[in-house]
C-alpha cells in the first residue's frame, strides 16, 4: 500500500514536471505530417498515466509529433485485458505495432523510443 502511494505521488510529480518542461514538437510539411499520422494509426501505446517509463515514451512521442493512441491499462480497464491477451503480460509501456495484418508487441521504454526515432525521426 505504501509503495503504491509513493509510486503515485512521485508519478504525479513527474507528470507535472513533464507538462512544464515539454520539448517543442518536430515540424514537418503538411504532407509529411499526414503520412506520419497515417502510419501512427497502426500504433497504440498501452500505458499508465503516472508511470515514469510511460512518461518518458510520451515525451518522445510529443517531441516527434506522433499522434499515437494512448490506452490506459489501469486495473479494470479493457485495455489491460487486451495487453495480457496480445502481449502476453501486463507491463507498461508497451507499443502495439500493426504491420501486414500482424500485431507485434514491444515492451521497454528505451526500445520503444529507439523504434519511434528510427521510424519517424529522420522525416524532419
Nearest to 120 by CA among 30, 59, 40: 40
Between 121 and 46, the more confident residue is 46
C-alpha cell at 16: 507535472
Q: Which of the four pLDDT bands, split at 50, 70 and 90, describes residue 16?
A: confident
The pLDDT-based confidence of 31 (bands split at 50, 70, 90) is: very high
Cell of 17: 514536471
**Separation between Cα atoms, residue 70 and residue 41, nearest integer Å:** 11
**Amino acid 124: pLDDT:** 46
d(CA 53, CA 17): 14
Which residue segments constitute the domains of the chain, with CATH numbers given? 2-120 (3.40.30.10)
Asked if pLDDT for residue 111 goes beyond 60, the answer is yes
Q: Which residue has the cell 507498461?
A: 92
Query: Which 3 state secondary structure label does DSSP give 103?
Result: strand
Amino acid at each position: 500500500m505504501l509503495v503504491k502511494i509513493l509510486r503515485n505521488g512521485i508519478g504525479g510529480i513527474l507528470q507535472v514536471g513533464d507538462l512544464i518542461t515539454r520539448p517543442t514538437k518536430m515540424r514537418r510539411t503538411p504532407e509529411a505530417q499526414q503520412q506520419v499520422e497515417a502510419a501512427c494509426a497502426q500504433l497504440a501505446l498501452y500505458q499508465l498515466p503516472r508511470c515514469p517509463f510511460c512518461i518518458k515514451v510520451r515525451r518522445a512521442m510529443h517531441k516527434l509529433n506522433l499522434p499515437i493512441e494512448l490506452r490506459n491499462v489501469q486495473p479494470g480497464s479493457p485495455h489491460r485485458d487486451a495487453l495480457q491477451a496480445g502481449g502476453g503480460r501486463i507491463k507498461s509501456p508497451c507499443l502495439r505495432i500493426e504491420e501486414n495484418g500482424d500485431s507485434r508487441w514491444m515492451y521497454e521504454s528505451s526500445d520503444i523510443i529507439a523504434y519511434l526515432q528510427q521510424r519517424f525521426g529522420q522525416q524532419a
